Amino acid sequence: MNRSRIHVRLIPAMIVASVILLSYKLIGMSEALGLFQNPIKLTSALAQEDEKVNTGAEDNLKNDGPGDDKEGAEGKKEEDKAASKKEKKDDAENDPTLFTQSEIDLLQDLAERREKIEKTEQQIALKQGLLKAAETRIEKRVSELKQLELTIKGLIKDHDDQQEKKMNSLVKIYEAMKPKDAARIFEQLDIDTILLVAERMKERRLAPVMAQMNPEKAKDITIKLSKLRELPLPGTVIVQ
């Protein structure tokens, strides 16, 4: 029952709302139809709309007009003035005519010192180059001398080896001879040659030869041989 009553009450309200909405639509359609039927009213309405648009554009032009251009021009002038002042200040700082005499003298003195330092550096570099070249030549010469020394030592060793072979061969000859024949030849040789041979001979081979020699000559050979045998051989390290 309650639900049916609510539905009954809502129906008249909906009818009233529909009538009001329809009335608004009819009024709008009649106004539009009236404008089309009366060209004067339509033209007037369009003119009013154009006037509104033009008025808005003029307002915008007024807001962006000469006032803003004037402010921009004044700002540009201020920037140009500041830049001009900065350039003048820089020119004044770099202008040599604005230096005092003491400053000019100091700058000249510094320039002269710098020139002297550069010349000194060049001279030092030149001397270093000459010293380097001299060191290179000296090192090369030392290397050549060392090589020459090795060559000479090699030649001396070869010569000594050959002489040693010859002396050993001569010693073998005297050792193979009869003592009497060897003694006779020894007495005809100089003492240094006799010592070279006698020093290398074995004692049992040398003794019979010296027994056949002149006693005085044999005595001299004995004394000198004893002294030679007291001397260290070449290359022997002496420990004290």
Q: Which tens digit of pLDDT belongs to each residue from 34-56?
A: 544 444 444 455 456 556 545 65
Q: Does residue 218 contact residue 210 with C-beta atoms inside 8 Å?
A: yes
The Cα–Cα gap between 230 and 223 comes to 11
* Nearest one of 214, 161, 227, 145 to 184, comparing CA atoms: 214
Average pLDDT value for residue range 225-237: 64
Per-residue exposure over 122-131, b if at least 16 CB sit within 10 Å of its own CB, e if not: eeeeeeeeee
3-state secondary structure of 58: helix
Question: Mean per-residue pLDDT for 147-173?
Answer: 93
Distances (CA, A) of 24 to 11, 20, 29, 33: 21, 6, 9, 14
Position 102 scores a pLDDT of 87
Residue 74: count other Cβ atoms within 10 Å of its Cβ. 10
pLDDT reported for residue 225 = 87
pLDDT of amino acid 226: 87
Residues 6+ away with beta carbon under 8 Å from 202: 175
- DSSP3 helix / strand / coil % (the chain, rounded to 5): 90, 0, 10
What average pLDDT does range 51-74 have in this prediction? 54
Per-range mean pLDDT, top range of 35-44, 83-92, 95-104, 170-179: 170-179
Q: In the chain, what percentage of residues exceed pLDDT 70? A: 56
Which residues have a Cβ under 8 Å from the Cβ of 171 and sit 6 or more positions away?
Answer: 197, 200, 201
Reply yes or no on whether the pLDDT at 6 is more than 60: no
Tell me: the pLDDT tens digits for 94-133? 555 677 888 888 998 999 999 999 999 999 999 999 999 9
Angle at 196 between CA 190 and CA 200, to 5 degrees: 140
Q: Token pair of 32, please?
A: 């539009």
Cα 210–chain centre separation? 82
Q: Is the pLDDT of residue 143 over 60?
A: yes
Given the structure tokens 């570099």, which residue do they identify? 125
pTM: 0.39
18-27, 79-88, 120-129, 216-225: least confidently modelled range: 18-27
Please, what is the average pLDDT of the chain?
75
Using the 8-state DSSP alphabet, how is residue 235 labeled?
T
Evaluate if residue 154 carries a pLDDT over 80: yes
